[in-house]
Amino acid sequence: MSFYLFLMAAAVCVLSAWVHGVWGRRLYLGYIKQTNLPPREKAISAVSWDVFTTMLLVSGGSLAFVAFNAQAIWMAYPIMIMHFMGAGIFFALMVKGHKELIALPGAYLMSTVGLLTLLAI
């Protein structure tokens, strides 16, 4: 059962990375271009977007590796913690008044990856 849970968590990560990195990036960068931020801040914002996409890809690849290599289960713990903490940040910001985050999938997908990984462990 752990094998399939790890693969499901990996699939959620990889699909999220694809949506985040392709469709989301196009939308996000379009919005950022319309702001009056200085060029350096626009570039930093784009980098942070891409870093999160990379984190999702690395998480997905690592969880798939763990699914096929049970002796590497120790790799799953920091990934699980990172996703739970990331979801916690999303939820904390929602509670603090950033209601627009409720409509975005980040908190729910990170919670899902964290939970699937916890169940697999």
30-83, pLDDT tens digit by residue? 999 999 999 999 999 999 999 999 999 999 999 999 999 999 999 999 999 999
Confidence at residue 120, expressed as pLDDT on a 0 to 100 scale: 97
Mean pLDDT, to the nearest integer, of 1-8?
Answer: 96
Closest CA to 13 of 72, 82, 98: 82
Claim: this prediction has a pTM higher than 0.95: no
Mean of pLDDT over the chain: 96
Residue whose structure tokens are 């350096």: 40
Mean pLDDT, to the nearest integer, of 87-110?
Answer: 95
Confidence at residue 46, expressed as pLDDT on a 0 to 100 scale: 92
Percent of the chain topping pLDDT 70: 100
Percent of the chain topping pLDDT 90: 99
Instruction: Bin 97: left if φ > 0, else alpha if -120 < ψ < 50, else beta.
Output: left
Please report, as a single letter, which amino acid is at residue 68: F
Cα within 13 Å of Cα(46), Cβ side: 16
Confidence at residue 59, expressed as pLDDT on a 0 to 100 scale: 98
- Give the list of residues 6+ apart from residue 52 with CB closer than 8 angstroms, or none: 20
Mean pLDDT, to the nearest integer, of 96-121?
Answer: 96
Confidence at residue 108, expressed as pLDDT on a 0 to 100 scale: 96
Confidence at residue 51, expressed as pLDDT on a 0 to 100 scale: 96
